[in-house]
A and B are shown apart, each in its own frame.
Chain A
Amino acid sequence: MSMINYASREINCKLVYYGPGLGGKTTNLEHIYGKVSPNTRGKMISLATETERTLFFDFLPVDLGTIRGFKTRFHLYTVPGQVYYNASRKLILKGVDGIVFVADSQIERMEANVESMQNLYDNMAEYGYDLTKIPFVIQYNKRDLPNAAPVKDLQASLNPGWPVEDATRQKQTPDPAHAGESLVEKVGGEWVGRAPYHEAVAVRGDGVFDTLKAVSKSVLKTLS
């Protein structure tokens, strides 16, 4: 739930990085923390177990510039990926403005990715949020590993598309990040929409800011 403070001319938004355990959600935040100037970021808070697995969440506030005189501050959260932490995962989704799903590209983690995506749909539905209507970006992480599945297989499993019923959105929409691909297109007579996706190697920082930029832009668009 974004908060617009006309008194201090600030817009505060909440972004959540979701996905299976050990997929790279915390690594995304750590990279952002390391690259953003200390003047434009707050303190990074990690509620982790002794083995440094996220227990409750990681939190990082980042200022992403000014829009029409309003300072935009994004609160970045990760959730714990491990299946048994669903209670805390659900709590963190409360009031979310945009979601990044960090998928682990390794073939062996395909099942974990699908399970986590289903869990995201279920938890969002319980709050009455529709994942197909809020800013949502998928990141295929660990693209450098030899056992990474092809992107088209990941897309088929995790981002197969949903029916677009809103007539105003039923138009061919090219994917700005991937030439020749579309975010909304007609498939077999039906209009289908897909979430934008980005490939990443979060440990090296590749694709981390592309993903953040895509989701934050989408959130700001919903506010304008």
Chain B
Amino acid sequence: MAGAASWSFNENDFKQIQTHLQAFLRDSNARCALLVDRNGQLVATVGDTPKFDPTAFASLTAADFSANDQLAKMIGEAEFASLVHQGEREGGGRGGRGGRAKGPARRGRGRN
């Protein structure tokens, strides 16, 4: 492979992604869910409109995820299947799916 392949999705793909993400949002009882690819590109957002910069958030999420992936390997784990961040008011959980994408879900206080 010469370089990284590109991937694309059309209107129907996008609708399906959003349907799945909506279901995930309901199941997780979170306020907002972002789907981010491993390279830090934001694929889709559902739920409350984020009050933060979602592009920067996506990039940092991918970096954090990749760094944790390497940390897991260093201690002999295949991966950390999920990561949870909890702040005073906001928190979030993130999970990898099939080694390709992940969905950070943002939760309010007391709902984790």
Contact = CB atoms under 8 A, between A and B. Distances in A.
A and B from one complex: yes
Contact of A45 (B5, B6, B7, B56): B56
Interface string B50-74: 0001011001100100110010000
Given A56-B63, A87-B70, A1 B53 contact: no
Interface residues of B, number: 29
A6 B5 contact: no
Interface in A76-123: 87-88, 91-92, 94-97
Interface residues of A, number: 35
A193 interface: no
B39 A130 contact: no
Nearest to A88: B67
B11 A95 contact: no
Interface string A52-90: 000011010100000000000001000000000001100
A12 interface: yes
A196 B43 CA distance: 32
Contacts of A134: 2-4
B43 A3 contact: yes
A133 interface: yes
Q: For the complex, would chain B's binding face be called helix, strand, loop or mixed by DSSP majority?
A: mixed
Nearest to B15: A7
Interface in B1-50: 1-11, 13-15, 37-41, 43
Contact of B41 (A3, A7, A91): A3
B36 to A, nearest CB: 11
Contact of A4 (B7, B59, B60): B7
A194 interface: no
B7 A91 contact: no
Interface of B: 1-11, 13-15, 37-41, 43, 53, 55-56, 59-60, 63, 66-67, 70
5 contacts: A1-B37, A59-B60, A75-B41, A95-B40, A223-B6
